[in-house]
Chain A
């Protein structure tokens, strides 16, 4: 399995909400940086927690890989779009059953033995809040109808 293949599997598993299987693709000490959330730590804790919340809040989640390339240091760089309908509170935003589509960019560092050792994700949280009906950044739990 190549870095490209591992990345494709990683995003398919996010779509399926299979977080334990995602962790199975990782090195034991794999790290994650969810840049817009300022969450940086172990994939097994911070990454898994985020992905479980994502899966619970968007049970119909679709993940579409729009661009994928592998750089010389074996990092898979992907542009994806996530798509789904909110069914539970997400990142403190109350559920209003809003539909979300959000473009993101992810970088997955892959070891020579095809384990993902570091994950970095970029997106615009403001776009996410807008789609979920949030009006103010200091009151994300209060949403517009």
Chain B
């Protein structure tokens, strides 16, 4: 793992600053609903885990866990489809010198389609998230983990069933 400086734009910057710049770019692409742009900021085999994402069926549980290019891309696309005005605001960014970045982000939108077990009632939500990234020495995201509270999310959208 590279821990020194790497090039971003026209200058050489400390690893922390480069990792933060990549994460800012990721959320800018998310605000623009540019899923391909989000994916392009990630390494080919980047890991993905949306911790609260659990879909409990009769036979099995589906988790929001896998790779950015398979699970992540599908979830982001489905979210933007169901919440066409989906927006985010980064409220804090912290990084270390090994490429780890913690980002607190408010995400919200107005529901236009059913999403999973949440039937569409046209409700609006705004929910704080914590994203944990790892960014490589080359400035690519190779791991994304996110935490948020589904109770707040579901209540705002009028869904009171736990599942």
Q: Which residues of A contact B (CB under 8 A)?
A: 35-36, 38, 67, 69-73, 75, 77, 79, 103-105, 107, 120, 122-127, 129-130, 134-138
Known: A36-B149, A36-B152. A77 touches B132 (CB 8 A): yes
Is B162 within 8 A of A135, CB to CB? Answer: yes
A130 cross-chain contacts in B, Cβ below 8 A:
54, 56, 162-163
Is B96 within 8 A of A69, CB to CB? Answer: yes
Is B154 within 8 A of A137, CB to CB? Answer: yes
Is B148 within 8 A of A124, CB to CB? Answer: yes
Shortest distance from the beta carbon of B155 to any chain A beta carbon, whole Å: 6
Task: Give A105 to B149 CA distance when docked, in angstroms.
Answer: 12
Picked from B147, B154, B162, the residue with its CB within 8 Å of the CB of A123 is B147
- How many pairs of residues, A versus B, come closer than 8 Å at their CB atoms? 92
Task: Give A50 to B127 CA distance when docked, in angstroms.
Answer: 22
Beta-carbon nearest neighbor of B128 in chain A: A35
A138 cross-chain contacts in B, Cβ below 8 A:
160
Picked from A77, A79, A124, A135, the residue with its CB within 8 Å of the CB of B149 is A124
Q: Is B102 an interface residue (CB 8 A)?
A: yes
B100 cross-chain contacts in A, Cβ below 8 A:
69, 71, 77
Shortest distance from the beta carbon of A131 to any chain B beta carbon, whole Å: 10
Shortest distance from the beta carbon of B22 to any chain A beta carbon, whole Å: 15
8 Å CB interface, B47-96 against A: 51-52, 54, 56, 94-96
